[in-house]
Structure 1
């Protein structure tokens, strides 16, 4: 069985360390903000000019004037700040972010990532700030579904799409596995019920499996984002 989008976001959030300043990309990465373990202080950044974002708001608490770079409603934690794009990208380009979690269309075993919107039919058809983030953040993680909607493999021997960043990704979270970039794709965890052969069959590039490779232990999560914080 594959993990849900919420479970992938939850699993990635468990590895974000206390005190980090973190940018969350558009889409599945945003779910990380709803699943930070209790007692862990993470400062979330959005490139449209927010530092100190909180989890997604409940429907009755949505403020249409408070959105992230993906145009989705967000909350702000005590001490949060709002500023212009110049300062926001100064934070990115000045390498003040400990981590950026990006979505991706393709990844390669050397850490290459391709995540640009591919056509005018996409929600946000533009390169956006991903190139700045890929170059400026100290760490880049990727979250995505292991296989695309049309069955295309996304973990490639070589990316066929234009690169957002070359050799920048260090860890990958999919609905089937947790994978480190370590001389290639090194599988650290695998989804329940998925065999190693099945995972390899859904991957274009060769996989290696860590000696302590284990099953992902993700909680059952509701799809409503506001419930994820309590689940963690």
Structure 2
């Protein structure tokens, strides 16, 4: 295996933010996706949504300026941009279910090559299921993107032929952003968008264990 440098969590968040179009309404899921708020490109208006009832969310507050009455769905303190608002949880879910979000960015335990998503339970006896609004976001947003490490701590690919964990949504994921590569999920399987420097296409296929169509 050749030498390559994994994307840091901030570099991965920056990569996700890079693909968001001007004027997009975007939900950031709990965990790693919340970092995207800190990397919105200058001059690009992205309206960030949090499922607990925020629209117009800004980056994380500076140390010492946290307001714990203003938090995201993961209970992390956030900021509110000029024109932003907060509102009832039910109104937030109406936005999610009504197709008013352009992109949702979610974490995942597994994603299949055709875009099936498993991100709320590993099915293990001691696991605490936490579906939250993931099912609503996976099918309600116009596009669902996943942001995650490609491999588990045991070195197994989280991109799989078929999900073995309980499903969140069927064929809902359009793109997978990972620390090693960016992939598109298509009806015909995976397609490469980009990969980190020093990692070859063949090596990526070996890590995932699936064929990957070349980038267009």
Query: Smaller-chain TM-score range?
Result: over 0.9
The aligned counterpart of 1:165 is 169
1:185 counterpart (167, 182, 190): 190
How big is the shift at 1:125? 4.1
2:36 counterpart (23, 32, 36): 32
The aligned counterpart of 1:97 is 101
How big is the shift at 1:147? 0.2
Higher relative contact order (CA 8 A, sep 6+): 1
2:205 counterpart (195, 200, 203): 200
TM-score, scaled to structure 2: 0.92
Number of residue pairs the alignment of both structures matches: 210
Deviations 1:166-217 (A, max 9, x none): 0011111100011112321111111012122221121032212215xxxxxx
Q: Is the 8 A contact 1:28 1:143 kept in 2?
A: yes
Q: Distance in 1 between matches of 2:64 and 2:203?
A: 43
Note the 1:51-130 alignment, pairs <5 A: 51-118=55-122, 125-130=129-134
For the residue of structure 1 that corresponds to 2:67, the secondary structure is coil
Q: Is the 8 A contact 1:93 1:132 kept in 2?
A: yes
C-alpha RMSD over aligned residues: 1.5
Mark the runs of 5 or more structure 2 residues left unpaired by the alignment.
none
TM-score, scaled to structure 1: 0.86
Q: Distance in 2 between matches of 1:103 and 1:6?
A: 15
Q: Distance in 2 between matches of 1:26 and 1:113?
A: 15
Deviations 1:58-82 (A, max 9, x none): 1121112211001111110011111
How big is the shift at 1:121? 7.0
The aligned counterpart of 1:45 is 49
Asked if 1:176 is matched to 2:180, the reply is: yes
1:147 counterpart (145, 151, 165): 151
